[in-house]
Amino acid sequence: MADERLVRRHDGRLLLVFFVAVVFLGLKAIFIPRYLERLAKRVGAEPESQPYVNITSSLVIAALLVLLAYAVMRPLVLASQLPTRGGLPLAMGLIFVGLFIVITRKKALTQVVGFLVLENGIALMADSDNGISVMGYVLRRVAKEYGWSYKVEQDTAGDLFLLAKLRGTNAALQHYDASKSQNSSKVNEQILNGLGYRLLYGGKESDAVEVFRKNVQEFPQSSNVYDSLGEAYMKVGQKDLAIQNYEKSLQMDPKNNNAVEQLKKLKGEAMSPKVIEQDGFTVIGIAARTSNAKEMTPDGLIGKQWMRLFQEGVIGKIPNKADASIIAVYTDYASDHNGEYTYLLGARVTSDAQVPEGMAAKKIPGGKFAVFTSDKGPAPQVVPSIWMKINSLPHNAVGGDRFYRADYEIYDERARDPQNLQVDVYVGIR
């Protein structure tokens, strides 16, 4: 489901953060140093006069390690977008120096100081952008060096995110494919899902969409991957695609409450019809029997009807036209929008006494209609889009239960440019 846990929450806990900061400052700057000083006096520990590396050389090496840390972490700093990125080189420098102290000092007390420096570096790294990703490698190396018995779990999604930051998302996806080809059993949907959410809330929304789309291709039977892709589309403002993927997720998992809530938000924003009482009228035009399923195939008839309308000059042949608008009527429904219907394309008339050969007349009954207005754009895009939204709404969300007796579109002066038209859709309701 949607990983809201990845979103930073500012919920009034600032006081607690300051409290924790003060406690840690007192612990590390006052208590631990004084405790070590008292411990050294108690056991009679003397300053370490002969370490493996003398003091002068140690200072030079420590300085070089800090410079190395800045060089190593520079790509991450450049790739990061967060203000905490400045802590990355310092954190790595502390880790290098801490390890150096542990390795080059003979006495346990001095090694403890080295471990404290190392711990400070790890803490600072974890608090910096991408730090957790880098720390996976550091901890695995330290565990191997000291023969620790426990195993540090590998964060594959974190590793991919780090790779995406350094070399781009395509490189991360290529690495994923290579890992899958080597051992497909270690690949699951959570890997790309984790990478996608890190990108989505890390300022890389377009890359996140790409990753979630790949996850859908990899795991098409999972409801969760469609839910995540829907969230990504929602974040980048592509509401139609967000609705489509949330509906797919809900279809596969009817208990997905997150999809239900997000669809309510999306459809509430997208659909705000006005309800009117409309008198009946008559339309004359060319008719064809079709269905929405058929229109999704090369055998669809609606596009062909429009070509015929213009090629044969149908509008000019219709007598007694009431106005200059073109009317497209959906009527004689076999059931609902999933079944067959008659598509009548023509004009509103004042009389059907004369019906040209090859055409049909249809009386559209008066009643209550919910009126939807499409976006502006090319007809092949905006008209199917508005109907997709309407058909995805709950039965009573259009102002009443749909009648499925007659619905229609009006193409008036706003539809003169077929590449930038806008239409009103009238949906019959009870």
Please tell me the distance from the alpha carbon of residue 397 to that of residue 58, in angstroms, as a whole number: 74
Q: Where are the domains of the chain?
A: 46-154, 158-270, 275-429
- 258, 251 in Cβ contact below 8 A? no
Separation of alpha carbons 88 and 126, rounded Å: 9
Closest to 349 in 3D by CA, of 372, 325, 370, 332? 325
Res 77: pLDDT:
65
Residue 209's pLDDT is what?
Answer: 93
Decide if 429 contacts 402 (C-beta within 8 A).
yes
Give the integer Cα–Cα distance in Å for 3 and 53: 49
Number of Cβ atoms within 10 Å of the Cβ of 105: 19
The pLDDT tens digits along the chain (430 residues) read 444 433 343 344 456 667 777 887 787 778 877 877 787 777 666 666 567 777 788 888 888 888 888 887 776 666 555 555 667 788 888 888 888 888 887 777 777 777 778 777 777 766 555 455 555 555 666 666 666 665 656 667 777 887 887 788 999 899 888 888 888 777 888 889 988 988 887 778 899 999 999 999 999 999 999 999 999 998 888 888 999 999 999 889 988 888 888 887 787 655 568 899 999 999 999 999 999 989 888 889 999 999 999 999 999 999 999 999 999 999 999 998 889 999 999 999 999 999 999 999 999 999 999 999 888 888 888 898 889 888 877 666 667 788 899 999 999 999 988 888 889 999 999 8
Question: Cα separation of 94 and 354, whole Å?
Answer: 92
Q: Structure pTM?
A: 0.42
DSSP-based three-state secondary structure for 348: strand
Question: Which pLDDT score, from 0 to 100, does residue 2 have?
Answer: 43
Give the SS3 label for residue 101: helix
Euclidean distance between CA atoms 212 and 195, whole angstroms = 9
Query: What is the architecture of the domain spanning 275-429?
Result: Alpha-Beta Barrel (3.20)
Q: Is the dihedral of CA 386, 387, 392, 398 positive or negative?
A: positive
Domain 158-270 has CATH 3.90.650.10: no
- pLDDT of 3: 42
Q: What is the per-residue pLDDT for 30?
A: 82
Give the Å distances, CA to CA, from 187 to 153, 172, 181, 193, 318: 15, 14, 10, 11, 63
- The pairing of beta strand 367-373 with beta strand 281-291: unpaired
